[in-house]
Amino acid sequence: MKPVIVFDMNETLLDMSALDATFGRIFGHPQPSELRKRWFEQVLQLFLTATVIGRYRPFDKLTQEALGMLARQQGREASAEDRKALEAALGKIPAYPDARPGLERLKAAGFVVATLTNSTEKAAERLLEQAGLRPLFDRVLSADEVKRYKPAPEAYAYAAKELEVKPREVLLVAAHAWDIAGALAAGCRAAFIERPGKVMNPEGPQPELSARDVQDLAEQLVAKHG
């Protein structure tokens, strides 16, 4: 039986390096990619903390909080213009070149394809539309609906319930070891996308599949499930 394929979005399908130019303009830094990575790591810390302590705040608010913290690390405050620039850039993140052909291959092979993101559903819909990917998804799901960010088990359970399948019938696809670990702990299956700089913890839970990109994953899944 084919699993339902559930994709993470940020850094898995969408290329966050597109934000580098915005961070370069905001901070005038010679290595904006390093600032962008530090910002996203801060976003991760904020949503993990929000989940652990039980004080949920929407993802778009956390992205702005992280910008404010990054600015303070640089010895300044984030201005209203800085915040508007980041908000605008976050709405225009492109897909990786392999995302669309890989998704098309999965759809042609009869797989049900969905997303599960920590972004809000509204933001996810908008991002997928502008990236040209929305028609390839059967459902767009967000952890915002249960106010528990991935890797909390409630997020994955929500996805399985909405897709009307058991957790073991869900194959979560992500470029983050923490997302893979969360999915496996919730009883789902998992596949890892080897985006630049992303690795699995060799001592942690391991996915059943690992792929160079979405096209490679699609070929593996079609070969395995027909």
Give the residue numbers annotated as catalytic, written as ranges.
8
Question: Which phi and psi angles does 84 have, rounded to 5°?
Answer: -65, -40
Residue 6, exposed/middle/buried by CB under 10 A (0-12, 13-18, 19+)?
A: buried
List beta partners, residue 117.
Answer: 142
As beta bridge partners, residue 173 has 7, 191
| DSSP codes joined into one string, 78-134 | --HHHHHHHHHHHT-PPBPTTHHHHHHHHHHTT--EEEEESS-HHHHHHHHHHTT-G
For residue 191, the Cα-to-chain-centroid distance in whole angstroms is 13
Helix spans in the chain (H)? 20-27, 32-53, 59-73, 80-90, 99-108, 121-130, 153-162, 177-185, 214-225
Residues in the chain: 226
Calculate the alpha carbon distances from 109 to 112, 167, 226 in Å.
Answer: 9, 21, 7
